[in-house]
Amino acid sequence: MNDIALILPEVSLLALACVVLLVDAFAGKRSPELTFWAAVLSCVIVLAEVARFVPEAAMFGFSGTLRIDVLGVVLKTFVLVLVLLSFFYAREYFSKRPGEIRGEYYPLALFATLGMMILISASSLLTVYLGLELLSLSLYSLVALQRNSVVASEAAMKYFVLGALASGLLLYGMSILYGVAGTLDLSELLVKVANLESQRLLLTFGLVFLVVGIGFKLGVVPFHMWVPDVYQGAATPVTQFIGTAPKLAAFGMTMRLLVDGLEGLAEQWQQMLIILSVLSMGLGNLLAISQRNFKRMLAYSTIAHMGFMLLGLISASANGYAASMFYITLYALMSMGAFGSIILLCSAQSEGDQLSDLAGLGKRSPWFAFILLILMFSMAGVPPFGGFWAKWSVLKEVVAADYVWLAGVAVLFSLIGAYYYLRVIKIMYFDEPESPYPVTGSADLRFLLSVNGLLVLLLGLMPGGLMAICQAAAIPYSP
């Protein structure tokens, strides 16, 4: 019963996701709002259960396969808040495009959230894989929801094939580690890795395959092939979902595998992450410049941002982990707002995802042009917006770890990346609008998008609160 009490939020989410599925099956077509509110209520209940218990020290359940600690609680809280926000954005999209209402979106998103929560709390190679597969299979189905769209079906197939390959490689790496260390438990693996100097080569070989799996979930180069096609091909609410909460879960998986289990191989995985980081920042920023589709541009932007986020992990310090967590949380908020702007622009006839759809937004809707300006400046790392402090925090830690050259490379690519964010602002304020009509959206969407953008600005003006939370989550990793 003590074990069940530790995973009460996960058990509740599983039960509530099944209830939402039944609600959609019996009342979805007659009352899609009922499915939406059932999903929202489910998130609120689970969020309350997660937030009510913050352990002072790490607690383990189910024979050490699950770990409940401050890092896990904070990440789960952020994930559930992002999922809750994504549901409100999705409702607006489905109301604008009634032919594409898919009640399956909500239960699938809840099952994906369950996978994220298991992944964040994993303390065994077995539970890491279990959470990852539950998350991945739900995301494959979400991408394929638009059954009449050839582009969405193609994106789902690419995502599925590449995801299966990445999962296989990850599982192969886990089998090597198990064969060498004789344990699936990450806490035991941490101890054994430190005592297996003679097997260091084999352990490093297994680590390579683990990094491949991590790289795929984060979408970093050279495991990024699925990102542009999936971001462009999936329905905008699905793209928004994939680009926000699962990134935090992937960060949690990275912490569990590389820090909780393989910290003894830090010298090896630091070198691997440096390569992935430099390639991602370079290729992501350079390829984003040539894009004309807003969602595809944001996909390459994501690749670059994930490369930037890795800088904090490369420092292999508690402050570095906190900086990376701060970065990825702020990125998820910025990404949510950017895709929310696309939902605002979409209509029954158009997805609203071309850069040309932003033309003249400054005249058609000055307020929401200003909100998108905040988000673009923040993504570019311009002060005083939140993105500036996110980049500053990881750069500070990578310099403290004596990788000054790497910080220089990151700043260079960040300057290159500023071009395509500024281009969006130029299109909004200086290009003539294709449509003279004002932008329309429900009161819910207008309020949510406004709060989303202003929160990014507020975190830029007062970043201390969020950074303090991230540092509290990273305290256990202090020497």
Task: Determine the number of helices (DSSP H) and then strands (DSSP E) in the chain.
Answer: 21, 2
Predicted pLDDT of residue 100: 64
Predicted pLDDT of residue 183: 87
Q: How far is CA 26 from the centre of its chain?
A: 32
Predicted pLDDT of residue 1: 64
Query: pLDDT per residue over 425-463, tens digit each?
Result: 999 888 887 776 677 778 888 899 999 999 999 999 998
Contact 58, 259 (CB under 8 A): no
The domain of 304 spans 2-477
Predicted pLDDT of residue 283: 92
Contact 164, 226 (CB under 8 A): no
Query: Cα torsion for 409, 410, 415, 418, to the nearest 10°?
Result: 150
Residue 476's alpha-carbon distances to 206, 259, 322, 329, 479, in angstroms, are 26, 11, 11, 19, 8
Long-range contacts from 458-467, C-beta under 8 angstroms, 24+ separation = 458/386, 459/330, 459/333, 459/386, 459/389, 460/378, 460/383, 460/384, 460/385, 460/386, 460/387, 460/388, 460/389, 461/384, 463/326, 463/386, 463/389, 466/326, 466/329, 466/330, 467/322, 467/326, 467/389, 467/393
Residue with tokens 């197939």: 157
Q: How far is CA 416 from the centre of its chain?
A: 23
By CB atoms closer than 10 A (0-12, 13-18, 19+), residue 438 is: exposed
Cis check: omega of the bond before 107, within 30 degrees of 0:
no
Residue ranges, the chain, pLDDT below 50: none
Q: CB within 8 A of 176, min separation 6: which ones?
A: 202, 203, 205, 206, 209
Predicted pLDDT of residue 99: 65
The identity of residue 226, as a single letter, is W
The C-alpha atoms of residue 295 and residue 265 are separated, in whole angstroms, by 37
Q: Which residues pair with 354 in a beta bridge?
A: 293
Query: Cα torsion for 307, 313, 314, 318, to the nearest 10°?
Result: 150
Contact 204, 169 (CB under 8 A): no
Predicted pLDDT of residue 65: 87
Q: CB within 8 A of 30, min separation 6: which ones?
A: none
The C-alpha atoms of residue 101 and residue 117 are separated, in whole angstroms, by 27
φ, ψ of residue 68 in degrees (nearest 5): -110, 115
Predicted pLDDT of residue 101: 62
Residue 309's alpha-carbon distances to 15, 286, 410, 436, in angstroms, are 34, 18, 11, 40
The C-alpha atoms of residue 67 and residue 240 are separated, in whole angstroms, by 29
The C-alpha atoms of residue 274 and residue 209 are separated, in whole angstroms, by 16
The size of the chain, in residues, is 479
Predicted pLDDT of residue 28: 63
Listed residue (261, 260, 265, 255) closest to 313, CA to CA: 255
**Domains identified in the chain, total number:** 1
Q: CB within 8 A of 218, min separation 6: which ones?
A: 247, 250, 251, 254, 306, 309, 310
Residue 459's alpha-carbon distances to 117, 320, 451, 469, in angstroms, are 25, 19, 12, 13
Predicted pLDDT of residue 29: 67
Query: pLDDT per residue over 347-356, tens digit each?
Result: 767 777 888 8
Contact 99, 70 (CB under 8 A): no
